Amino acid sequence: MYLEQQEQLGDLIRGVLKQKFDLDVESIPLETPPDLNFGEVSTPIALQLARALRKAPRVIATEIVEALGKVEGFVGFEVAGAGYINARLDRGASVRAYARAEGGGGLAGGHVLVEHTSINPNKAAHIGHLRNAILGDTFVRILRAAGSKVDVQNYIDNTGVQVADVVVGFEHLEGKSVDDVRALIASCEEQVQRDGRTAGAFDYHCWDLYAKTSQWYASGTEEENAERKKKRYATLHLLEEGNNPTAEMAELISTAVLRRHLATMERLGIEYDFLPRESEILHLKFWDAAFDLLKKTGVLYFEENGKNKGCWVMTRPGDETKAAEAEGPNEDAKVIVRSNGTVTYVGKDIAYHLWKFGLLGKDFGYKKFFEYPSHECWISTMSGAAEHPHFGGANAIYNVIDARQADPQANVIQALRGMGHTEQADRYTHFSYEMVALTPRCAVDLGYAVSEEDQKKAYIEVSGRKGFGVKADDLIDKLIAAEFEEVSKRHEDLDAETRKKIATQIAVGALRYFMLKYTRNSVIAFDFKDALSFEGETGPYIQYAIVRIRNIFRKGATTADAVLDEFAQMADAGKYLEGAENADIWALWLAAGRRTQVLDQCIVTSEPAYLAKHAFQLAQLFSNFYHNHHILAETDGEKKKFLLATAAVTLRELVLALNWLGIESPEAM
RNA sequence: GCGCCUGUAGCUCAGUUGGAUAGAGCGGCUGACUACGAAUCAGCAGGUCGGGAGUUCGAAUCUCUCCGGGCGCACCA
């Protein structure tokens, strides 16, 4: 494919530079010219070498081109502009190769662990969580396409303060017992089963209760609030301890909400392999093992003086020299073990990440938790099934966690590095992304009270604590409803079930594309108008291109596979790719040939948005081609075969790309 | 105060390791359905890439500085 052709040119030029100038150039910069008139591959290498060789760039470029001579796969090379070397591909040969190039990427490998979603199991998922899960799931698909073995983990903080808050709500605001909560969960579950609606589900109930409880902590007199906060921490303590009715209630709540989250994500095609829980990290004493290792390697030290007196602390990344030069205690150090002996969040995270890399010397117990059509999802437990898959011990990890947690993530990496696990530290990627916020207008439309100050902002952060945000299931429902109406208008002939299926495929496509078209570090200011759009740069636009291609094959009474088989027997197709009137066809093939390059770029930069962009561009080029060339009406038999092959390759590439984006390709829409 | 991110068309965003004429969608205005589906396509208008200085053959991209946004900097998670 295109990537290989680029690399081929790079190797050739490297060889020329060695032979002619005795230069060892590590990597030849290769780019795509801005215009097809400049060829398909170009390099400014001569411009870069001008100084070292004390020659004019154009002279160097000319010498390289002369030394290259004739090369198979290329029609020729030329010098342009200030000293670019432009290469023209052999179009006939390229098209032949692209048509044959099935499969994925095959550039990555190894055992990779991706952690994503990780929603506190105390409330319904909202749009911010959707961005996390969709980014993570898409990246997993990309890694798998490139040949890596990937385990997907969803970390469950079931003993944290957020779950404690909902427990406080049930116990002290609603006066419910463990049995009451159990009954409520059962009746909510029954309602979801019966009505197929998510609005009355248990996670929705918790959404409201969590907001109510958060407010309750601050809404009484000073003494009352102090008393309420005490209840909060007492509850948290009971959760961490386990084996008591409060912890039992927490377990019920967190498990029920977790099941809701898995159901929500499954609507979007998002699945997990393993659900490690904080309760097991605590009770299996992961921290004790990590603490020993951290002390032994000197990463942690006991602070005798200053504000952190009595704590075990570590130096923050970047502060090493400052810490060494400081005379007194390093007040900026990160506390890992508090003076009361309890461990902080970063400490627990270090232990967990040692496990991920197989460096802790301990493992979870495992039991089956959730069944997907194609595989099981396991959850951590104290002592579980005798036979289970092996999780952890990966050689690279990706943590899909929002950008605000950059500092604690850096601390964990720093700890690994300090312990001498530099290779693992280098393969630890904080896959960070910015939040999804609401535009003030959207917040007002949803009925939230928006302060004057917030009205002026470009966006307002969603907050589970305040109950402020758009719930994931509500958004999905709304998208499906809107799309169902659209599909019904266009296909009165289809039965309701089929229309519902198509509407769901398109709605999910629209949502996933919407979350993926923005690069990770751009804040998404959410607005229903944009998210509910099915035109322009959207998932449905790409799906529509696919439907059109399928219609061509249907009407032409053939299939993409048959067409490609025939094309393989054809003589040279190069003649159909020359000239200005065929520039759109060649541009389409060229884009179709970029699959491996795009996949590679996505992995190197941890950026799925490039794949989304690629799929859109491919669909766009096809739409253009579709309008310029009427395939089925083509009278030249050979040319018709070629045009059909063009559509077939486009279809194959679009379906592959959408698959990796987690978007289905409907038969009709 | 320190650190990280960020400022590109009216709006929302792309812009590969510094490279040729800065792109797309939406919105606006024109056109194109008896064609393989118009959820589409073509065209036009719209930019001192926040300001300034520097490095370079070459800067939206790198450095410095100023201005404007955002987010971190707990013995919370």
Angle value at C-alpha A21, between A20 and A24, nearest 5 degrees? 110
**Virtual torsion, Cα A327, A331, A335, A341, nearest 10 deg:** 80
Is A262 found in the same domain as A184? Answer: yes
Chain B nucleotides covered by protein, CB below 7 Å: 4-6, 12-17, 19-21, 23-27, 35-42, 57-58, 69-77
pLDDT band at A107 (very low <50, low <70, confident <90, very high): low
Q: How far apart are CA A374 and CA A252, in angstroms?
A: 27
User: Once rounded to an integer, what is the mean pLDDT over residues A43-63?
Assistant: 90
> Measured in angstroms, what separates residue A467's CA from nucleotide B9's C1'?
37
User: Measuring from the CA of residue A517 to each C1', which nucleotide is nearest?
Assistant: B13
Residue A641 has pLDDT above 70, yes or no: yes
Q: Residue A138: inside a domain, yes or no?
A: no
Q: Which nucleotide is nearest to A540 (CA to C1')?
A: B39
Q: What is the mean pLDDT of residues A288-308?
A: 94
In a domain, A49, yes or no: yes
Q: Residue A82: which pLDDT band, with cuts at 50, 70 and 90?
A: confident
Predicted confidence band of residue A580 (pLDDT cuts 50, 70, 90): confident
How far, in Å, is the CA of A448 from the C1' of nucleotide B35? 50
**Dihedral sign from CA coordinates of A420, A423, A426, A430:** negative
Which DSSP letter does residue A465 get?
T
Shortest CA to C1' contact from A35: nucleotide: B20
* A73 belongs to a structural domain: yes
Residues A174 and A252 placed together within one structural domain of the fold: yes
Last residue of a domain, one of A270, A287, A316: A270
Query: Considering its fold, how many domains does chain A have in total?
Result: 2
Does A492 map to a domain? no
* A256 and A180 belong to one structural domain: yes
A524 nearest nt, CA–C1':
B12
DSSP secondary structure string for all residues of A269-324? T---SEE-BHHHHHHTTHHHHHHHHHHHTTSSEE--SSTTTT-EEEPPTT-HHHHH
Element at A91 (helix H, strand E): helix A91-100
Spacing of A139 CA from B54 C1' in Å: 40
Alpha-carbon distance of A593 to A581, in angstroms, equals 21
Residue A642 lies in a domain: no
The pLDDT tens digits of the residues spanning A457-467 come to 889 999 989 99
Do the interacting molecules here have an ipTM over 0.95?
yes
Alpha carbon distance A325, A4 (integer Å): 51
A73 three-class SS: coil
B19 C1' to A607 CA distance, Å: 23
Give φ, ψ of A49 to 5 degrees: -85, -10
Q: How confident is the model at residue A452 (pLDDT cuts 50, 70, 90)?
A: confident
Residue A116 in any domain: the answer is: no
> Which residue, A54, A74, A89, sits at the end of a domain?
A89
- Report DSSP state, residue A575: G
Residue where a domain stops, chosen among A47, A66, A89: A89
Closest nucleotide (C1' vs CA) to A460 is B70
Q: Is residue A66 part of a domain?
A: yes
DSSP string, A11-69: HHHHHHHHHHH----S----B--SSGGG-SEEE-HHHHHHHHHTS-HHHHHHHHHHHH-
pLDDT at A383 exceeding the cut of 90: no
Retrieve residue A20's tokens: 């002619």
* Span CA (A661) to C1' (B18), Å: 31
The range of the structural domain enclosing residue A165 comes to: 156-270
Mean pLDDT, residues A65-76 taken together: 93
pLDDT tens readout for residues A533-564? 999 999 999 999 999 999 999 999 999 999 99
Domain-located, residue A181: yes
Alpha helices in A146-195 (DSSP H): 161-168, 178-195
Please name the residue that has the structure tokens 């559509």.
Answer: A647
